[in-house]
Amino acid sequence: MRILIVDDEARFAAVLGKSLALAGQDTCRIAASAEAAIVELDQEPADLVLTDLRLPGSSGLDLLAMVVRRWPTTPVILMTAFADVETAKAALKRGALDYLVKPFPYADLAALVEQARARPDARRDDQGIPRLAGLVGGSPAMRKVFAELSRAAASEASVLLLGESGTGKEVAARAVHTLSPRHSEPFIEVHTAALPEGLVESELFGHERGSFTGADSRKHGLVEAADGGTLFLDEIGDMPAAAQAKLLRFLQERRFFRVGGIAPVTVDVRVVAATNRDLPALVRAGKFREDLFYRLDVMSIVLPRLADRTGDIAVLTRFFLAQQGGRTITPEAQSRLGVWNWPGNVRELANVLERAGILAGSGTIGEEHLPDRLRAHPSESVVGDPTLPHLEDGERQLVRSALAQAAGNKTRAAELLGITRRRLYSRLRALGLDDGELSSDV
């Protein structure tokens, strides 16, 4: 690894760097201040920053804040005197990987360096694509998400991932797990809306033999399967009310009873939840428990729409095309991708490029390989964007064209537009189009 040591005690820093280099064959650089460290990082990124808390000029905390903001995938370890331990502990909430109290045994430092080495924090790959544990993007919006995910991963707090469908909430949940000390333990994903309401308790918490008809043996639930690791509750906004109560009790007590059981089961599980629903609105409507919402909403991270990070479209295109064997795309086709509004977000872009790759065969992807909806409007697509009323006439034309191609089939028309059928209904109402133009509910 490339390690940057930041300490104004030159002899101590030199000995530390030599020890690390000899032990792990790592490359160690030294800076005597936070300002000098920033210069070093600008010239060449580091895989780990090891900094003293007290520095001349800006402090180690100031340097931590700068690293978290500008290089969110770079872990930071603080070195501190005993008197500053409380400050160092507080720094963990700001994104530090850990801290060491001087003087410290080399074995303690080596263990933390190995922990940093094992973190699969993504850096730029061989294609030059900025990544973080599966997420892709270099825009300011995504750098902010990278920093928030890194801070969340370092803690044990519950995380609530918010954002539209297709923005990458599942990938973000895996990133929280992958970047955390639990990365070698199970990651259990639960689509809560898909759980049969009558079997929710059994699926989540398991049951004992004979607890109900058909329970021929003891069953371990999904919560128990996640022991030591991370439990990802997807689509939490659609969880049935009965399940919400049972989940709340588990989050409060960190233990549960299997269905038909009399002995409590205690597990060590980190909970990450995700939804594309407006949970506060559901709380106000009495459809989601307020106490459960606050239990889940310890750390909220919003995954931005692709339309809000258009600078990442070209980066994502390179990423998806690299997965197709490194195929190429014409500038004209790339331009079309850049001006589409992407109501289906990153998932829609991935599907468009997969389809285009199939149509292009072994050749370069051109405009002719893109869906009609991307080629129908030469300058800008506004489907699904109610904030641009001056472009509604163009949107009406696109919607009517999709309806005509789908012969009035609502589901097919929504697919052609790259939006959900619910979104299509919303836009029809907003545009004042007669629902009678749609002849089929299928």
Phi-psi region of 25 (alpha: psi -120 to 50; beta: other; left: phi over 0): left
Q: What is the phi/psi pair of residue 21, to 5°?
A: -65, -40
Q: Which residue has the higher pLDDT, 57 or 440?
A: 57
What residue ranges do the domains of the chain occupy? Answer: 2-118, 155-302, 308-437
Q: Is the pLDDT of residue 42 over 80?
A: yes
53-57, 72-76, 165-169, 304-308: lowest mean pLDDT where? 72-76
Q: What is the pLDDT of residue 415?
A: 67
CATH number for the domain running over 155-302: 3.40.50.300
Q: What is the pLDDT of residue 4?
A: 93
- Report the distance separating Cα 225 and Cα 346, nearest Å: 30
Collapse the DSSP code of 110 into the 3-class scheme (helix H, G, I; strand E, B; otherwise coil) and give the result.
helix
CATH number for the domain running over 308-437: 1.10.8.60
Q: Is the pLDDT of residue 408 over 80?
A: no
What is the percent of the chain where pLDDT is above 70? 84
- Report the distance separating Cα 244 and Cα 291, nearest Å: 10
Question: In the β-sheet with 159-162, what is the strand arrangement from edge to edge?
Answer: 187-191, 230-234, 270-275, 159-162, 299-302
Instruction: Report the DSSP pairing between strands 76-80 and 48-52.
Output: parallel
Determine the average pLDDT of the residues in 364-390: 64
Q: Which residue has the higher pLDDT, 180 or 368?
A: 368
Q: What is the pLDDT of residue 348?
A: 92
CB burial of residue 221 (10 Å; 0-12, 13-18, 19+): buried
Q: What is the phi/psi pair of residue 403, to 5°?
A: -65, -40
Overall fold of domain 2-118: Rossmann fold (3.40.50)
Q: What is the pLDDT of residue 129?
A: 64
Q: What is the phi/psi pair of residue 219, to 5°?
A: -125, 130
Q: What is the pLDDT of residues 267-291, one digit of tens each?
A: 899 999 999 989 999 999 999 999 9
First to last CA, the chain: 56
Q: What is the pLDDT of residue 92?
A: 77
363-367, 388-392, 412-416: lowest mean pLDDT where? 388-392
Determine the average pLDDT of the residues in 345-358: 93
How many CA atoms within 13 Å lie on the side-chain side of 325? Answer: 9
Determine the average pLDDT of the residues in 308-328: 86
Two structure tokens written together for 279: 């949970």
Identify the residue whose tokens are 């079309």: 336
Q: Is the pLDDT of residue 442 over 70?
A: no
- Report the distance separating Cα 28 and Cα 14, nearest Å: 9
Q: Which residue has the higher pLDDT, 332 or 381?
A: 332
Q: Is the pTM of this model over 0.85?
A: no
The pLDDT confidence band at residue 441, using thresholds 50, 70 and 90, is very low
Hey, do 155-302 and 308-437 end up sharing a CATH topology, with the first three levels equal? Answer: no
Q: What is the pLDDT of residues 14-30, one digit of tens each?
A: 888 888 877 665 788 99
Angle, CA of 226, 229 and 231, to the nearest 5°: 55
Identify the residue whose tokens are 């009678």: 436
Q: Is the pLDDT of residue 396 over 70?
A: no
Determine the average pLDDT of the residues in 190-197: 78
Report the chain's mean pLDDT, rounded to a whole number: 81
84-88, 93-97, 175-179, 395-399: lowest mean pLDDT where? 395-399
Q: What is the pLDDT of residue 382?
A: 36
Q: What is the pLDDT of residues 118-171, one digit of tens each?
A: 654 444 444 556 677 778 887 778 878 887 888 888 788 899 999 998 999 999
Q: Is the pLDDT of residue 438 over 70?
A: no
Q: What is the pLDDT of residue 387?
A: 36
- Report the distance separating Cα 179 and Cα 436, nearest Å: 51
Q: What is the pLDDT of residues 218-268, one digit of tens each?
A: 778 888 899 999 999 999 988 888 788 888 988 888 888 787 777 888 889
